[in-house]
Structure 1
Amino acid sequence: MTTMQQLRVLLAVAEHGGFTAAGERLGMAQPAVSRSIASLENELGAPLLLRLRTGVALTEAGERAVRRAREAVRQVDLLRAEVAEVAGQVTGTLRLASVPTAMGTRLPAQLRLFTERHPLVAVRSFEGSDEELRDWLDQGVADVAVVTLPAPGLRTVLLDRHEMLAVLPVAHLLAACETVTYAQLANEPFVRPTGGCAQVFTAAAREAGVRLEATFEAREMSAVLEMVRAGLGVSILPAVGVPRVDGVVVRPLLPRTIREVALAVSASASPAARAFLAQLETA
């Protein structure tokens, strides 16, 4: 008979890419993880994982099993959390997905306050692009997510508003300008960040009648800055969290472009997610 423990082991292996890493996450020895997966495969009558030199990969059956296992585990966790909520406790896990620049908003302070108020809630955080975050919310992988507005169909609370800035090599001709227009950037090789802000400046550029063609793409802000510093192109980044880097300058964009970042919750929010959202709404 398939157990919740087997499903949790399967999810851990899928998320962490191997038996050893999953065991470390779950506090289990690697052989015990391997036996649990083998037992589950035997019960289901199909191999769920491909054992590779570099780790493991899901078979087609494994991908389907992981989707169902994730939902089953989530429902059991929600059941426990809902019952605890009736007794006046907020428990469970708050799975927070965010864009890389979210730590520059009021989010860290709010998380700290939340964990102080609700010590029985475990917080798990991970990062992705706006597209990934929306998928994670829809699939139940994340309970709450930090997203760039607009986010149609999601209940949101505003976290921060900040300007988008042009990012240039210090020796670039445009670095001597006080402001930079989208039209000026359109003539340059462009390093496109993929971590969450692209939809904002892409829409603003479109309104200005400009198309920014990406020569390079990078997910991490540090990688974007290094490419710009090396003279590979120019870029646009949010003002929040941009560190000072030798060889790189930032300039205000025209027309002025504002990015709004919000916390969004899934349609079937957990008690922990509802409590976190309520905290932000009253902050």
Structure 2
Amino acid sequence: MQRFDESELMGPTLRQLEILVAIADHGGFGAAADVLGMSQSSVSHSLSSLERTVQGELVHRVAPVRLTRLGEALLPHARATLAGARAFNIAAAAHRGADTAAPIALAVPPTAAHGLLPDLMVLWRERLPHVQVKIFEGFDEELGRWLEDGTVDAAVLIDPDPVPPGAVTLATDTFHAVVRRDHPLAGQNSIDLADLLDDPLLSSTAGCEPQVRRLHSLAGLRYQPAQRIREVTTLLSMVEAGLGVAAVPSLTANLLPEALTLVPLLPRLDRHLVLTGPTTRPWHPYVTAVRDVCENHTRSQQA
């Protein structure tokens, strides 16, 4: 008579899913144990139990520790399940009238992290003292994926199309040329994009490239960057070194070294930074609260 493991009948526990995610995020059993406050043997035992439940190996137990193909396939579902469980607990507490102190994870692109986030963090701390916002800084192509697989509870997306239901626009910024202060065009009120063609174009791939492509299309120009650079700070360092010019959003102003300046670009192109929760599962109640604070703050400033 075939015997069944009790774990197979019950399915995975939240703790087992937490262990899988911690191993994936922190790169090993020991690091996962430290984060979760468990012994390493307990982490290993729980993972083995989870592997029996799913009837497959989830982690290669050799250095460096990494997920198997099955582990990679199940990881997004583990993240989404844990995110849903966190939201469930907070919603239940809210129904009892309790403001439970709990964190939410927010993903932001680099320019928003520098130019927009500090003031928002102060606002959220004042209005929602029980909500802890943990920041995950990433590039545009990562943010949407993190949001939908449960890595984060909310994200600031740039020009999402379509705008997700319930989302709120946090800011709209305009593209500028970033040039050295001794550049011949640095003192202009605005610069036509075509007038920058004499300089090598340095382009950031950290989220702005689609808009820079569109800017060239609006101007009837071919998009031909001399260099494509991932890190915004590296791009600005190269402009400072006289290696070219770049088109960047105005929020980049907070990152500029003294030797550089921003000049509005023509044709004008705006981008919209939108705060949203996931589209494939209910929002965490505290994400809704953070969104409402932002929306009310914007209305009060416009009144």
Identity of aligned residues (%): 35
Instruction: State how many pairs are aligned.
Output: 282
What is the one-letter code of the residue matched to 1:80? N
The answer for the alignment partner of 2:3 in structure 1 is none
Q: Aligned partners of 2:57, 2:20: CA distance in 1, in Å?
A: 12
Match status 1:264 vs 2:273: no
- Structure 1 length normalisation: TM-score? 0.85
Find 2:224's aligned residue among 213, 218, 231.
213
In the superposition, relative to structure 1, how do residues 194 and 17 fare at CA in structure 2: closer, same or farther (>3 Å)? farther
User: Shift of the alpha carbon at 1:205?
Assistant: 2.0
Q: How does 1:57-136 map to 2 (within 5 A)?
A: 57-91=66-100, 92-136=102-146
User: Shift of the alpha carbon at 1:119?
Assistant: 4.3
Q: Aligned partners of 2:115, 2:195: CA distance in 1, in Å?
A: 29
Q: Aligned partners of 2:275, 2:84: CA distance in 1, in Å?
A: 22
Q: Aligned partners of 1:278, 1:272: CA distance in 2, in Å?
A: 10
Contact 2:236 2:256 in 1 (8 A): no
Contact 2:26 2:32 in 1 (8 A): yes
1:142 partner SS: coil
Contact 1:190 1:212 in 2 (8 A): no
In the superposition, relative to structure 1, how do residues 255 and 70 fare at CA in structure 2: closer, same or farther (>3 Å)? same
In the superposition, relative to structure 1, how do residues 241 and 19 fare at CA in structure 2: closer, same or farther (>3 Å)? farther
Instruction: Give the greater-gyration-radius structure (CA).
Output: 2
Contiguous gaps of at least 5 residues in structure 2: 1-6, 298-303
Q: How does 1:51-62 map to 2 (within 5 A)?
A: 51=61, 53=63, 55-62=64-71
Moved more, 26-35 or 3-12: 26-35
Contact 2:82 2:150 in 1 (8 A): no
Contiguous gaps of at least 5 residues in structure 1: none
TM-superposition CA deviations, 1:131-152 (whole Å, max 9, x none) = 3222333333332211223541
What is the one-letter code of the residue matched to 2:209? A
In the superposition, relative to structure 1, how do residues 6 and 245 fare at CA in structure 2: closer, same or farther (>3 Å)? same
TM-superposition CA deviations, 1:127-173 (whole Å, max 9, x none) = 22223222333333332211223541413222223332212355655
Q: Aligned partners of 1:27, 1:215: CA distance in 2, in Å?
A: 49
1:214 partner SS: coil
In the superposition, relative to structure 1, how do residues 116 and 56 fare at CA in structure 2: closer, same or farther (>3 Å)? farther
Q: Aligned partners of 1:97, 1:166: CA distance in 2, in Å?
A: 27
What is the one-letter code of the residue matched to 2:236? L
In the superposition, relative to structure 1, how do residues 111 and 173 fare at CA in structure 2: closer, same or farther (>3 Å)? closer
TM-superposition CA deviations, 1:9-32 (whole Å, max 9, x none) = 111121233334333432334444
Report which of the two has the higher share of strand. Answer: 1
Contact 1:165 1:250 in 2 (8 A): yes
Q: Aligned partners of 1:101, 1:147: CA distance in 2, in Å?
A: 12
The answer for the alignment partner of 1:276 in structure 2 is 290
Q: How does 1:230-249 map to 2 (within 5 A)?
A: 230-242=241-253, 243-245=255-257, 247-249=259-261
Match status 1:190 vs 2:204: no
Contact 1:193 1:217 in 2 (8 A): yes
Q: CA RMSD in A?
A: 2.7
What is the one-letter code of the residue matched to 1:48? L
Contact 1:186 1:212 in 2 (8 A): no
2:65 partner SS: strand
Q: How does 1:30-45 map to 2 (within 5 A)?
A: 30-45=40-55
In the superposition, relative to structure 1, how do residues 25 and 151 fare at CA in structure 2: closer, same or farther (>3 Å)? farther
User: Shift of the alpha carbon at 1:241?
Assistant: 4.0
Match status 1:4 vs 2:18: no
In the superposition, relative to structure 1, how do residues 176 and 116 fare at CA in structure 2: closer, same or farther (>3 Å)? closer
The answer for the alignment partner of 2:60 in structure 1 is 50
Q: Aligned partners of 2:108, 2:288: CA distance in 1, in Å?
A: 17
User: Shift of the alpha carbon at 1:263?
Assistant: 1.3
